[in-house]
Amino acid sequence: MSVKTIILDWAGTTVDFGCMAPVLAFQKAFANKGIQLNNQEIRKPMGLLKVEHIRQLLALDRVKQEWLEQYGSPSDENDVDSIYQDFEHYLFADLAENSHLKPDTKKAVDQLQAAGFKIGSTTGYTNEMMKVVAETAKIEGYAPDHLVTPDDVNSLGRPYPFMIFENMRFFKNREMSEVIKVGDTISDIREGKNAGVFSIAVTEGSSVMGLSMEEYQALLPEEKQELNQQAANTFYQEGADLCVHNLLELAELLQEKASIYELANRKNFGSS
């Protein structure tokens, strides 16, 4: 069965190189509560529904201990709500500025759509957040054929598979083998695997790599290759079926290989 539908993530995959907007917002929101989080802590749950992301950060042993020392009792859902309100405030403040397309997105998606593929999308952002992100992306030339947020599936976002299923319903896919999920976080891969579809990770500009575009571009070629390989190793350990550097590499590969079974035989990361 040939691939018909490609379901892309947003931040870190098609827009916002390095998935920087939510990282900064989480840092500021927790700092308001006296908790300083590092990038690694913030990025591990990346891709989840944002309120669930906050719950997981609050569940970190170090954070639980610091919270108890500061407030004298464990955090609860009222604290989750309070942090989420701060997170939303900081995110919306500069979401548009951090929603520009990654360098390869427009050309890659144009190639994929010209080849007949349908482009779906899933995200950890809410409908209100996506109004900002999608509008910025549209101005710059990218608009998927369908968009599903956690709000559209009763807040059962990643790692639940329901956003993928909703895309499949929209595109009338009959077989899992018609669908590919593409993302830049572990949550993306788990979402895809839980849905039973072929799951591909993008390494350049991914949340797993965790570098801004400026930081990445400043690296030597061999440094870039090493970091891409490290990110790929992480994704493969979490069950990814395939890793690519970027969407343009994926587009070129999909135009050559018509089925997930052919894609699965691609053995060497970074070569087609």
Catalytic residue among 9, 16, 104, 241: 9
Integer Cα distance of 159 and 151 in angstroms:
14
User: What is the enclosing helix (H) or strand (E) of 256?
Assistant: helix 247-256
> Between the CA of residue 66 and those of 51, 63, 73, 160, 251, what are the distances in Å?
20, 5, 10, 31, 46
Which DSSP symbol is given to 242? E
Does the annotation list 94 as a binding residue? no
User: Residue 223: phi, psi to the nearest 5?
Assistant: -70, -40
Catalytic residue among 50, 102, 118, 224: 50
> Between the CA of residue 92 and those of 23, 80, 206, what are the distances in Å?
13, 18, 21
Is 224 a residue of the active site? Answer: no
Does the annotation list 11 as a binding residue? yes
Q: What angle do CA 143, 145, 146 make, to 5 degrees?
A: 105
Q: What angle do CA 23, 87, 60 make, to 5 degrees?
A: 65
Does the annotation list 188 as a binding residue? no
Q: Which amino acid, one-letter code, is at 72?
A: G
* Gyration radius from the chain CA atoms: 18
Integer Cα distance of 239 and 258 in angstroms:
22
Is 193 a residue of the active site? Answer: no
> Between the CA of residue 68 and those of 36, 42, 65, 73, what are the distances in Å?
14, 20, 5, 5
Integer Cα distance of 237 and 229 in angstroms:
12
Q: Which amino acid, one-letter code, is at 245?
A: H
Annotated binding site for Mg(2+): 9, 11, 184
Annotated binding site: 9, 11, 184
Instruction: Give the residue numbers marked as catalytic.
Output: 9, 50
